[in-house]
Amino acid sequence: MRIIVTGGGTGGHIYPALAVAEGIRQRHPGAEVLYVGTEGGLEAGIVSRSGFAFRAIPGAGLKRSLTPRNLLSILRAGQGFAASRALVRRFRPDVVVGTGGYVCGPVVLAAALQGFRTLIHEQNAVPGLTNRVLSRYADRTAITFVEAVKHFPRRARIILTGLPVRPEILAVNREDSRRRLGLAANEFVVVSFGGSRGARSLNLALVSVVQALHGRGGWRLYHATGTAGVEEFRQTLGATGGVPREEENIVIAPYFYNISTLLAAADLVVCRAGASTIAELTVLGLPGILVPYPYATGKHQEHNARALAERGAAVVIHDRDLTGVRLLATIEQLRNEPATLSAMGRAAKSLAKPRALDNLLDSIEKLAGTREK
């Protein structure tokens, strides 16, 4: 098999693409898998650590407001489409799989227009613009939530698969992960992040949490500020005199490449409510404090968070209500109620769709088997 996988911009697009790539590699050890991303995109660093071949094409996202920068974005999109046509023609994939982000558009479209089989995956209940357009050309449009169907054109060939998570997420072990991190049995581990680029409101609230928890026995906090928020976070924390030393119980980084290990070791997760994050929390049976991104298309993160909260799997704090005081109080309350935490974890696990990746791989194999050589 020869497969092109593409998706980028945020972890929500990158990790499902990597899950597919790794799933193909496991099912078909001799398969050639090529990951296509953008020049300078977050995906380049993440993919390189996964051992897949990576190629970059020009690309830039359009701003929602009228701005001269959109002219440059359109130009780069045209360059990306031309580069994609040449790349696809040389590689001759059996299937091209796209998981969203503006890099997905030119690659999948170039493949479809040249007669190659294509499959796109939509993670959210309200699909993004790129996937809504591509669904008119793709051989299959895989969705996570049945609610997404009404947002696609009638001609889209839709299949319900669920959202795949990376095999390493499924393979992690809590005891091994905690041992690798050097955690004591009684340490309460909180993992917090706002997405690959970060979330400013979460970062500001975490300043108070870091101040309160650093140096306190029995606690361990891992916080990812995001690539765009690390400097502001450190400056804000430094102005308060609360910067933890490396040997203390707080670990701060722009991004955690070992997130699977951290999640396996966690007792509680504080995060946004993107679909990929939700899928990972449910597969691992992790209780969460969810702070939905308020400007997500169609408020899909609020819908995601509400689905977990209504089943007792998470606590939701809306972005407008988020403060350091409230977040710290919620974290401490949950730690002091182990029965509640356990019930939240069980509820999260009950919502998991562990066969999502298998469903997608089955569909990819069917497409590969029907393509004319």
- pLDDT 10s digits, 25-39: 999 999 999 999 987
What does the pLDDT read at residue 269?
A: 98
> In angstroms, rounded to a whole number, what is the distance separating the alpha carbons of residues 264 and 338?
17
In the block, residue with structure tokens 């945020």: 10
Q: Which two tokens stand for residue 360?
A: 């997608």
Predicted pLDDT at 77: 73
Please report, for residues 73, 131, 263, the alpha-carbon distance to residue 284 in angstroms, rounded to integers and kept in the order given.
39, 28, 8
3-class DSSP state of 83: helix
Instruction: Tell whether the torsion through CA atoms of 251, 197, 76 and 35 is positive or negative.
Output: positive
DSSP 200: H
- Contact status, residue 269 vs residue 326, Cβ threshold 8 Å: no
Most confident of 62-76, 211-225, 318-332: 318-332
Q: What is the mean pLDDT of residues 315-329?
A: 97
Is the pLDDT score of 70 beyond 60? no
Asked if residue 65 has pLDDT above 70, the reply is no
pTM as predicted: 0.75
At residue 102, the pLDDT reads: 82
Q: Which residues, other chains included, contact 314 with Cβ-Cβ below 8 Å and sequence gap of 6+?
A: 281, 287, 288, 289, 290, 305, 308, 344, 348
Domains and CATH numbers, the chain: 2-163+354-370 (3.40.50.2000), 169-350 (3.40.50.2000)
Q: What is the pLDDT of residue 73?
A: 61
How does DSSP classify residue 186?
T
* Locus of tokens 């992690």: 172
CA separation for the pair 111, 123 (Å, rounded): 21
Query: Which are the contacts of 299, defined by CB distance < 8 A and separation ≥ 6?
Result: 126, 292
Residues 265-309: tens digit of each pLDDT? 999 999 999 988 999 999 999 999 999 999 887 788 998 898 899
15: part of which helix (H) or strand (E)? helix 11-27
Query: Token pair of 318, please?
Result: 């809306």
pLDDT band at 58 (very low <50, low <70, confident <90, very high): confident
| Helix/strand/coil for 103 | coil
Residue 203 scores a pLDDT above 80: yes
